[in-house]
Structure 1
Amino acid sequence: MMRRPLFGAACALLTATAIGLSSPARAGGPVVRDAHGRDVMISDTSRTVAVGGAITEVLVALGFEQRIAGVDSTSTFPPEAVKGKPNVGYLRQLSAEGVIGLNPTLILAMDSAGPKQTMQALEAAKIPLVSIPETFTEQGLLDKIRLIGHAMQADAGATCLANAVAQDFDQLRQLRAKISKPARVMFVMSLVNGQAMAAGRNTAANEIIELSGGVNAIDGYDGYKTINDEAIVAAKPDAVITIRRSRDSFEADAFYAHPAFALTPAGANRAFLAMDGLYLLGFGPRTPAAARDVAAALYPQLAPQAGSFSPKAASADCRS
């Protein structure tokens, strides 16, 4: 599978400028251009609320766990860093009062955070709010790290972490080069009343499938949609992937017992993989490692090479 290589240093600089990383600093702190094209001036990062698991992971990797005043429910890693932190609820169902009640000096939130009324209330409260773009690509992840680091006045640490993640993507690319026949993979978000909600194009699931050397068995639509049994059989997935959740999980037993999945190569080979949702779809620093784990499951012959994949992001010391 041919994939676009990571941009070089010159192109990365142009990208950084486009998202505001090189905005001139004003008295008191940097100015950050966020996902909505807003220039946000940041003067105090001592009480930062992180809304989005990937944001929290990056903050901890940069050494800012003591500045995290609160997190959302998707922020589950590292467990020792988020344990005991005030929780403002699910990323898309935030309460303005819950966030403001933490007296934050800065809010870093994924662009999908909501609802809209809550985000408008937070802006009206005059708390610096930076919306982080959700671009499910290699370059998008590197840009995310740099943007978060710039907001925290930790450009050197962010460059360190982005470089480590880029090296992990390089290792992943070498692993993918050994795949001769890409597997057809279906990502199922949920199975309710026998109907599967599957990921199409322009989703984190689609990108993780491609990063792991597979092809999405569902390519007729964007986003996540419920599909019928005929569509499941027609997709002919070689493997099915899902996320583990505390409730409403799509379990292996339900997959094996489903009449439509039973008629697919995935059902015949009992090729079912469930992984932690943040690890698999969060698009944080661990994403290359997650894609490696998926590749090892899809292609058992790659297990020896996958075992030698040593994530640089996990060992890099990029703390400020």
Structure 2
Amino acid sequence: MSHRLPQRRDVLRLLGASSLSTTVLPLFAQDAKLPKLVTVSGAITEVVYLLGAQAQLVGTDTTSLYPAAARSTPKVGYMRQLSAEGLLSLKPDAIIATNESGPAVVLDQVRSAGVKVEIIEADHSWGEVQRKVQAVGRAAAREAQARELQARLDAEWNQVQQRVAAAAGKGRKPRVLFVLSHSASPQVSGEKTAAHSVIGFAGGVNALGGFQGYRPMTAEAMASAAPDIILTSTQSIEAHGGVDRFWERPELALTPAFRKRSLITQDALLLLGFGPRMPSAVAELHEKFLAALA
């Protein structure tokens, strides 16, 4: 069996420990007839709040920690360890989740009980963000508000990608290595990961390729990757006890990034969650990439 699944869980658990700043749209009048929702994904929960549908939330998963009000909602557990009893006890009309949620048998049981289950494909693309907005709009009976939000987000995304494309013709792309380091065994991201996609969207190149998912961070991998920049989450730095302790890892000393202490950090949910704040996350990363190469 592949080892990518538990490593993927590490990433999702890291998202569950993150926070994210955003702007909530004005509340709409509460209507008791509107569908009651359970959301299983911090990014999906954020969309609910952006659409002003938080009064319809009857439960969220443990990755749903922003905004602060979401922390006080009834919790259905970790997104990969859901239970039919826990979900059905909240009497939702709809559950909105990604294909990273499960177990699948639990979601099938919930469907059999007559609850609508919206599953969104998580493929680390801008389309994933769009699908999350559209799914929440449908499930919450707020499709007009969802179209308005999507139009705004699409405009922001297009502006950011135009800026990245313009910079690409003026110089080389930085080699960036994402390190998942919230435990004693740091891992690095290959292809088919959220980090890989985000690095590319921000105008960088993933310094590691040839494999999918995450692998242990080894001295050999660091030497061959030769990253200009190390990218990690603020939660990883906190788990290490600060930036200085992070740089003490001997594997990092073999990289060009170590010599320049070129480190970029970002909140885990903002960086890897593929939520509605993705345009601002990528814009921030792009500017930091340019500054690191200056």
Are 2:251 and 1:240 aligned?
Answer: no
Match of 2:107 among 111, 116, 119: 119
User: What is the aligned-residue identity percentage?
Assistant: 35
Q: Which amino acid aligns with 1:235?
A: A
Residue in structure 2 matched with residue 198 of structure 1 by the alignment: 188
**Cα displacement (A) at 1:268:** 1.0
Which residue is 1:51 aligned to? 40
Determine which of 243, 248, 267 is the counterpart of 1:252.
243
Deviations 1:70-108 (A, max 9, x none): 11111122224x142111121112232222221212111
Identify which of 49, 54, 73 aligns with 1:85. 73
Checking the alignment, whether the CA contact within 8 Å between 2:37 and 2:140 is kept in structure 1 is no
- Structure 2 matches for 1:269-284, cutoff 5 A? 269-284=260-275
CA offset at residue 120 of structure 1?
A: 3.1
Partner of 2:290: 299
TM-score, scaled relative to structure 1: 0.74
Q: Quick one: which amino acid aligns to residue 260 of structure 2?
A: N
Of 133, 142, 159 in structure 2, the residue corresponding to residue 154 of structure 1 is 142
2:158 corresponds to which of 170, 178, 186: 170
* Equivalent in the alignment of 1:225: 215
266, 281, 285: which one aligns with 1:290: 281
Question: Does structure 2 conserve the Cα–Cα contact (< 8 Å) formed by 1:199 and 1:205?
Answer: yes
Pick aligned residue for 1:100 from 88, 112, 115: 88
Q: Which consecutive unaligned segments of at least 5 residues does structure 1 have?
A: 1-43, 304-320
Aligned residues: 258
2:237·2:246 contact (CA, 8 Å) conserved in 1? no
Give, in angstroms, the shift of residue 227 of structure 1: 3.7
Residues 253-297 of structure 1, C-alpha deviations (whole Å, 9 max, x = no match):
343111221120111111222321111111111001011111222
Closer/same/farther in 2, CA of residues 45 and 245 from structure 1, 3 Å limit: farther
Tell me, what secondary structure is at the counterpart of 1:92?
Answer: coil
| Structure 2 CA distance for partners of 1:92 and 1:247, relative to 1, 3 Å | farther
Q: 1:126 to 1:248 in 2, by over 3 A?
A: farther
- In 1, Cα distance between the equivalents of 2:292 and 2:229? 15
Instruction: Measure the CA separation in 1 of the matches of 2:45 and 2:116.
Output: 17
Query: Which residue of structure 1 lines up, in the alignment, with residue 180 of structure 2?
Result: 189
Contact 1:76–1:278 (8 Å) recurs in 2: no
Q: 1:120 to 1:150 in 2, by over 3 A?
A: closer
1:68 aligns with 2:61: no
Residues 120 and 128 in structure 2, CA contact (< 8 A), matched pair in contact too: no
Question: Which range moves more in the overlay, 132-141 or 197-206?
Answer: 132-141
Give the alignment's Cα RMSD to 1 decimal. Answer: 2.3
Structure 1 residue 191: Cα displacement? 5.9
Q: Flag structure 2 segments of 5+ consecutive residues without an equivalent.
A: 1-32
The letter of the residue matching 1:168 is: E
Which range moves more in the overlay, 144-153 or 204-213? 144-153
The equivalent of 1:138 in structure 2 is: 126
Change (3 A) 1:209 1:135: same
The one-letter amino acid of 1:184's match is R
* TM-score normalised according to structure 2 size: 0.80
Q: Give the Cα separation in 2 of the matches to 1:302 and 1:227.
A: 24
Deviation at 1:146, TM superposition (A): 1.9
SS in 2 for 1:178: helix
Asked if the contact 2:96/2:135 (under 8 Å) is kept, the reply is: no
Distance (whole Å) between structure 1 residues aligned to residue 66 and residue 141 of structure 2: 22
Distance 1:261 1:247 in 2: 14
Q: Is the 8 A contact 1:190 1:248 kept in 2?
A: no
Task: Tell me whether 120-129 or 55-64 shows the greater mean CA deviation.
Answer: 120-129
Q: Deviations over 1:223-262 (max 9, x none)?
A: 2222421011110111111223389835523431112211
The secondary structure found in structure 2 opposite 1:57 is helix
Counterpart CA distance in 2 for 1:149 and 1:59 is 8
Deviations 1:155-193 (A, max 9, x none): 221111111111111221232122422111111122654
Q: Point out the structure with the larger helix share.
A: 2
Q: What is the rounded CA distance, in whole Å, between the counterparts of 1:225 and 1:248 in structure 2?
A: 21
Code of the aligned partner of 2:56? R
